Chains A and B, each alone.
Chain A
Amino acid sequence: MTDIREASMIGRASDGRLVQRPLSPHLQIYRPQISSALSIFHRITGVALSVGALLLVCWLIAAATGDSAYNGLSGFLRSWFGVLLLFGWTVALWYHFCAGLRHLAWDAGYGFDLPTMHMTGKAVLAATAILTVLTWIAVILVW
């Protein structure tokens, strides 16, 4: 045992016996499940929304700068690339929003048993789809 970190993988069982602590399997051989998939989606959408927050700042800068800057940004957001960007932004936003509510429920101590967890996981996906569609119906109505 040369690495000090290996020593922390040795623990004692309740009877005092030294045991090797179990190591979680690597991601490559871990069977994908809805729980792990939704967990990493939450992180990915969080990082994407962090980049998306730049768009919010750009919008504020343009609105605070003047008409030409604001019209320029509006024109970009109305282009196919801008609409694609905003669509991805709304999908990530609603997913992170719904999955975040699920996390807050867990923090409050609700929904830990497996059937409930699988049900709320599917509900998050359904709610994301519904909210995204509703948002874009609203966008088309006010366009």
Chain B
Amino acid sequence: MSQTAKTSAPHVRVMRSQLGRVRGMGAAKSGTATWWAERLTSVALVPLTLWFVVSALRLTGLPRPAVAHWAGNPVNGALLVALVLVTFRHLQLGLQAVIEDYIHAERTRTVCILALRGAVGLIGLIGLLAALKLAFSR
């Protein structure tokens, strides 16, 4: 083999196995739990979204007591709480995937994920509490 062919051919000068070189370099560092949670929340959001859009259209233009009366129905109240919980779990998973894809520096990425989970958790809890308060306010 000539010298030029030798230098241009791919070569490895790292004394680590192929598995050792790639292990731990994935984006998420987790198994199928996240993937499954994404699908579970997506499927749940299909009927919840349709129900919410129809409900929002029916509540358009109505005063607050009518909205409270609507949310006071146990079925509507439960669906509203489910909508808030599933929506915030779903958007947390989605936004975390975006952060994992675009922020490469490990420290910044970890800080962003922690901040995201804190913010989403807190805002989701506020939404949950408001939905419950509304449902019990009739």
- CB-defined interface of B105-135 with A at 8 Å, one 1/0 digit per residue? 0000000000000000001001101110110
Task: Give chain B residues whose Cβ lies under 8 Å from the Cβ of A135.
Answer: 53, 57
- Distance A70 CA – B134 CA, assembled complex (angstroms): 12
- CB-defined interface of A4-38 with B at 8 Å, one 1/0 digit per residue? 11011011100000111000000000000000000
Q: Which of A36-72 contact B (CB under 8 A)?
A: 43, 46-47, 49-50, 53-54, 56-57, 60-64, 66-67, 70-71
Q: Which of B47-89 contact A (CB under 8 A)?
A: 49, 53, 57-58, 60-61, 63-65, 67-68, 71, 80, 83-84, 87-88
**With contact pairs A135-B57, A142-B61 given, residues A49 and B91 touching in the complex (Cβ less than 8 Å):** yes
- Distance A7 CA – B49 CA, assembled complex (angstroms): 46
Task: Give chain A residues whose Cβ lies under 8 Å from the Cβ of B39.
Answer: 104, 107
Q: Which of A121-143 contact B (CB under 8 A)?
A: 135, 138-139, 142-143
B87, A53: Cβ atoms closer than 8 Å: yes
- Distance A93 CA – B65 CA, assembled complex (angstroms): 27
Mostly helix, strand, loop or mixed at chain A's interface?
helix
Mostly helix, strand, loop or mixed at chain B's interface?
helix
B64, A66: Cβ atoms closer than 8 Å: yes
Q: Which range contains the number of A residues in contact with the other chain?
A: 35 or more
A7, B57: Cβ atoms closer than 8 Å: no
Task: Give chain A residues whose Cβ lies under 8 Å from the Cβ of B45.
Answer: 100
A103 CB-CB contact with B under 8 Å: yes
A101 CB-CB contact with B under 8 Å: yes
- CB-defined interface of A100-114 with B at 8 Å, one 1/0 digit per residue? 110110010000000
- Distance A41 CA – B88 CA, assembled complex (angstroms): 20
A57, B13: Cβ atoms closer than 8 Å: no
- Distance A97 CA – B102 CA, assembled complex (angstroms): 24
- The interface centre, meaning the residue of A50, A61, A103 with most chain B CB atoms within 10 A of its CB, is A50
Q: List 5 A-B contacts (CB under 8 A).
A: A4-B16, A8-B21, A63-B71, A64-B131, A142-B61
Which B residues fall within an 8 A CB radius of A? Answer: 9-14, 16, 18, 21-22, 25, 39, 42-43, 45-46, 49, 53, 57-58, 60-61, 63-65, 67-68, 71, 80, 83-84, 87-88, 91, 94-95, 98, 123, 126-127, 129-131, 133-134, 137
